[in-house]
Amino acid sequence: MLVGGILKMNVSETLNNKSMLSVKNLKVHFPIRRGLLQRQVGAVRAVDGITFDIFPGETFGLVGESGCGKTTTGRAILQLYKPTAGEIVFDGVSLAHLDSRSMRKMRKRMQMIFQDPFASLNPRLTVGSTIAEPIRIHSSLDNQKIEDKVNYLLEVVGLSPDVAKRYPHEFSGGQRQRIGIARALASEPDFVVCDEPISALDVSIQAQVVNLIEDLRADIGLTYLFIGHDLSMIRHISDRVAVMYLGHIVELAKTDRLFLGALHPYTVSLISAIPVPDPVIERKRRRIVLKGDVPNPANPPKGCLFCTRCPLVIDECRITRPELKEWMPGHYAACHRIDEMGVGKGLPLIEIEQ
pLDDT of 79: 93
- The rounded distance, in Å, linking the Cα atoms of 242 and 228 is 11
DSSP 252: E
pLDDT of 342: 55
DSSP 62: E
DSSP 152-217: HHHHHTT--GGGGGS-GGGS-HHHHHHHHHHHHHTT--SEEEEESTTTTS-HHHHHHHHHHHHHHH
Residues 6+ apart with CB under 8 A from 159: 175, 178, 179, 182
Do 47 and 73 touch, CB atoms closer than 8 A? yes
- Could you state, in chain order, the average pLDDT of each consecutive group of 10 residues for the chain (354 residues)? 40 59 96 90 93 95 92 94 94 89 90 89 94 92 93 91 94 90 92 89 82 87 92 92 96 94 91 80 75 86 92 90 92 88 47 36
For residue 7, the one-letter residue type is: L
- The rounded distance, in Å, linking the Cα atoms of 41 and 35 is 9
Residues in the chain: 354
CB atoms within 10 A of CB 23: 23
- The rounded distance, in Å, linking the Cα atoms of 112 and 10 is 21
What is the b/e burial string over 181-204, where b = at least 16 CB atoms within 10 angstroms of the residue's CB?
bbbbbbbbbbbbbbbbbbebbeee
Q: For residue 65, give the nearest of 340, 319, 295, 236 by alpha carbon.
A: 295
Q: For residue 21, give the nearest of 58, 70, 54, 62 by alpha carbon.
A: 54
Do 236 and 206 touch, CB atoms closer than 8 A? no
pLDDT of 340: 64
Give the E-state strand segments of the chain in sequence order.
2-3, 6-7, 21-34, 39-54, 59-63, 85-90, 93-94, 110-113, 191-195, 223-228, 240-245, 248-254, 325-328, 331-333
- The rounded distance, in Å, linking the Cα atoms of 273 and 286 is 9
- The rounded distance, in Å, linking the Cα atoms of 139 and 180 is 19
- The rounded distance, in Å, linking the Cα atoms of 194 and 185 is 12
- The rounded distance, in Å, linking the Cα atoms of 230 and 23 is 23
What is the b/e burial string over 238-248, where b = at least 16 CB atoms within 10 angstroms of the residue's CB?
bbbbbbbbbbb
CA 131 to chain centre: 23
Domain boundaries, the chain: 2-32+42-238, 256-341
Q: For residue 171, give the nearest of 228, 120, 226, 111 by alpha carbon.
A: 120
- What's the CATH class of domain 2-32+42-238? alpha beta
